[in-house]
Structure 1
Amino acid sequence: MITHIVLFKLKERTPEAVKEAQSRLLSMEGKVEMLRHLEVGLDLIHSERSADIALVTKFDSLEDLQAYQVHPYHANEVAAYMRSVCSQVTAADYES
């Protein structure tokens, strides 16, 4: 199994902006068939160094993770939106 974690820091860190981004990320459920697990967590600490949102996804294989990256719904709807509202994005991928 491959775990893909992405931390997002939003340009606008209001509760409304965070909820909208969370909703967009969760909208992948059922639309991106290679996703085996989808979790979206919101930061509780709100420090300057904190990310606003953590995305945790799991895939059966590295090939599925790579297919997810170019999946039309993920790439054109969700990732495009997240790029437009984020000031910083950090990712880590590992075998789990």
Structure 2
Amino acid sequence: MIRHIVMWKFRPGTEAEQERFLSGLRALQGVVPQLLRSEVARNVGAGNYDAVLVSEFSSLEDLEAYKNDPRHKAVSALCKSIREDRVAVDYEFQEA
């Protein structure tokens, strides 16, 4: 199994677009078949990244298929227009 974690810092003044982006990410669950599980949340603290995605896939190939899915690409394009920074990590894990 692969866990894919992404965090974003958004540009000030893009609050409406941020909500559209985060809602769009949430809407991919159950739509993109390779996406087994996802959690999208806003940071409740100060001075860190603004939002996070934690998602799970069966394989790196499934993660790549998700990244290349047109529905994900549309959401990602919105993010690219409003973010200041992005960090990500992908790692293998065993289901409990």
The one-letter code sitting in structure 1 at the alignment partner of 2:77 is A
Structure 2: unaligned runs, 5 residues or longer: none
The one-letter code sitting in structure 2 at the alignment partner of 1:79 is S
Report the TM-score when normalising by structure 2. Answer: 0.87
Paired with 1:21 and 1:66, the residues of 2 have a C-alpha distance of: 20
How many residue pairs match? The answer is 93
Match status 1:20 vs 2:20: yes
For residues 42-81 of structure 1, the aligned pairs below 5 Å read: 42-47=42-47, 50-75=48-73, 77-81=74-78
Paired with 1:13 and 1:56, the residues of 2 have a C-alpha distance of: 25
Structure 1: unaligned runs, 5 residues or longer: none
Query: SS in structure 1 opposite 2:76?
Result: helix
* Superposed CA RMSD: 1.6
Paired with 1:13 and 1:59, the residues of 2 have a C-alpha distance of: 33
Q: Which residue of 1 aligns with 2:88?
A: 91
Identity %: 37
Aligned partners of 2:18 and 2:79 also within 8 Å = no
